[in-house]
Amino acid sequence: MTLKYLLDENVAPLYQVQLRRQKPDLIVWVVGEPATPPKSTLDPEILCWCEEHNFILVTNNRKSMPVHLAEHIAQGQNMPGIFILNDKLTIGQNINELIIIAEASFDDKYQNQIVHLPLLQ
């Protein structure tokens, strides 16, 4: 199965546009779109949505996401994963990382993990 990405509302819209353009078969949704959590949804609720719909969350949130994920797991829940974009990489480099990861990954590879891009440093 191909990974599915949910971009949180703090991720630049260009990410979705470029991911869809470069990898049309990749499922990339954004918070606030139909069938996704509405904008301003609290992070713990977004994690629950991602768990229910099997989406990996893509975010810039380095501060509170680790805390929210730990709480989510402590409650006996699971999360397909969280990818944190690297602000030292260009948008193009982050997008390439997301595409490579999606192409080379298998189910549950990133379950309950926070991955900081780039994957290999």
pTM of the model: 0.95
Q: How far is CA 88 from CA 84, 93, 94, 111, in A?
A: 12, 10, 9, 25
Give the pLDDT score at 2: 76
- Asked if residue 66 is part of any domain, the answer here is yes
- Asked if residue 121 is part of any domain, the answer here is no
- Asked if residue 13 is part of any domain, the answer here is yes
The average pLDDT across 59-81 equals 94
Give the pLDDT score at 121: 62
- Asked if residue 49 is part of any domain, the answer here is yes
Give the pLDDT score at 56: 97
Alpha carbons 63 and 37: distance in angstroms, whole number: 21
pLDDT level of residue 106 (50, 70, 90 thresholds)? confident
Provide the β-strand partners of residue 6: 29, 57
- Asked if residue 99 is part of any domain, the answer here is yes
> Which residues constitute the domain of residue 48?
4-116
Residue 5 has pLDDT above 90, yes or no: yes
- Asked if residue 43 is part of any domain, the answer here is yes
Alpha carbons 19 and 24: distance in angstroms, whole number: 7
pLDDT level of residue 1 (50, 70, 90 thresholds)? very low
Number of domains in the chain: 1
CATH of the domain at 44: 3.40.50
Answer for the pair 102, 2: CB distance below 8 angstroms, yes or no: yes
